[in-house]
Chains A and B, each alone.
Chain A
Amino acid sequence: MGQRKMKKRLKRYAAACEKIVPVEKEQRIQEILQAGRQQENMAGGSFRQVADSAFGYRARGTVWSFLLEQVGYLGRYCLVWQAAWLALFYYMVRHGVAQLFGKDNGNALLVVVSILPPLLILLTVEEVTKVYQRSMLEIEYATKYSLRSAVMIRMSVLCVIHSFILMICIVCLHFSTEAELGRLFVYGFTPMTMATALLFKMMQHWQGEFLLRASVGVYVLMAGLAFVGSSGYVNCYQPAYFKIWCIVCAIGIVSVVRQMIRLNRKLESYEAVVQ
């Protein structure tokens, strides 16, 4: 017998099996719910509380506790990578960025400051893609805070952490090399804002594994572009064009806010579908 015929037979059998319905469905569902209620009592709260603890926050907690627990939600490896990133940065500052690249100090500083921000976001991109699963809406919906608020809060927490780390690095660089603080801020934050805006944009279209791979690709590319642009091969990311990069940085910040609002709207529409 051919495989095609076998497929038809299997489908026919499956169609016949569709007629088999559970006889004690209602009774069984009630028993399952009863088990759920027992689980509630064992956990010392309502099922909603049990469910919420799965997402790292409590339904009856305050907004502040919710925020704090979102920070706790970040994977340990994520913190380890960020620590490694800081160690790399410390090594670069300690051994002199100019020596590392064998160029004049100003240019080498730009190379370091512009390459590292996209790589910093790269370290935590997996955390973002993990939380952003459309198929998880049905469970997230059961909790006090929706998927939308969870995603937006986690993204904001990551943004704040990244900005904080980058600011520390920039201030350290400023004191160790006596480079102009304003310039360091602009050249550090421009690739970061652009990378973040791109991540939000990608999140609106893709998710899961594909989003993760695309983000990794984009950030590596962005770090590469920043390197090429600032290392003298292409003379565009240079101190001479400081004013232009100030405008680009401002555009980047506006883009981040804009994409964040759009992502928020998109998540809102998913919630409406689930409801």
Chain B
Amino acid sequence: MLEKIIRKYYDEIFRYCYHHVGSRTVAEDLCQDTFVSFIEHYEGYRPLGKTKNYLYTIARNKCHDHYKKKTPLIVEQVPEQETGQRMEETVIMREMVMTLPEDFREAVILRYFQSMPYQDIASVLAISLSLAKYRVKRGLELLADMEGGAHGTT
């Protein structure tokens, strides 16, 4: 059963970590740490919400710890089969998201990269539903402003 849970959520958690750290190897390390931590704390775990959200919360903390250790802006990998302008756009997009303030960045990643419903975002971030919606909206506004500013300066 544990294996089932790991297999079911591994890719999703890996991708979430990847969005945070931008490196496939580091993301795999963080993803592994997340599941190991899940096992370690399983004994004291009380089932009050979705398992997925619980895993996301652990992964989020692991990414936070990673940020504390080193700068998050590593653009080591870009999606394969992406070339030229498309690749450049992808890198820019990632850099823009990473320059967002932490709270908004987290909300944007969960909403647009992980396609998570607002209710779950609120649960993972331990905030209210309305605040989750606000953070996503504000994050999007900031990104749009950033893009507008970048176009304005060039």
Contact = CB atoms under 8 A, between A and B. Distances in A.
B81 A54 contact: no
A35 B15 contact: no
Contact of A35 (B7, B27, B39, B51): B39
A273 interface: no
Interface in B96-154: 97, 108, 112-115, 140-141, 143-144, 147-148, 151
Contact of A3 (B46, B79, B80, B144): B144
Contacts of A7: 112, 140
B44 interface: yes
Interface in A12-52: 13-14, 16-25, 28-29, 31-33, 35-36, 39, 43, 47, 50-51
Interface string B40-58: 1011111111110000000
A35 B35 CA distance: 9
Nearest to B137: A3
Interface residues of A, number: 45
Contacts, number: 129
Interface stretch (A91-99, A131-139, A218-226, A245-253): A131-139
A13 B77 contact: no
A24 B43 contact: no
A6 B3 contact: no
A54 B45 contact: yes
Contacts of A176: none
B5 interface: yes
B10 A50 contact: no
Given A36-B2, A54-B44, A28 B31 contact: yes
Q: How large is the interface on B (under 10, 10 to 19, 20 to 34, 35 or more residues)?
A: 35 or more
B90 interface: yes
A261 B10 CA distance: 37
A87 to B, nearest CB: 29
Interface in B1-43: 1-7, 10-11, 14-15, 18-19, 24, 27-28, 31-32, 35-36, 39-40, 42-43
A22 B113 contact: no
A156 interface: no
A50 B43 contact: yes
Contacts of A65: none
13 contacts: A3-B141, A5-B144, A10-B108, A10-B143, A19-B80, A19-B81, A20-B15, A21-B11, A23-B24, A29-B6, A50-B42, A54-B44, A133-B47
A133 B6 contact: no
B14 to A, nearest CB: 5
A136 B148 CA distance: 44
A7 B111 CA distance: 10
A136 B39 contact: no
Contacts of B49: 133, 135
Contacts of A2: 144
A174 B2 CA distance: 55
Nearest to A54: B45
A54 B46 contact: yes
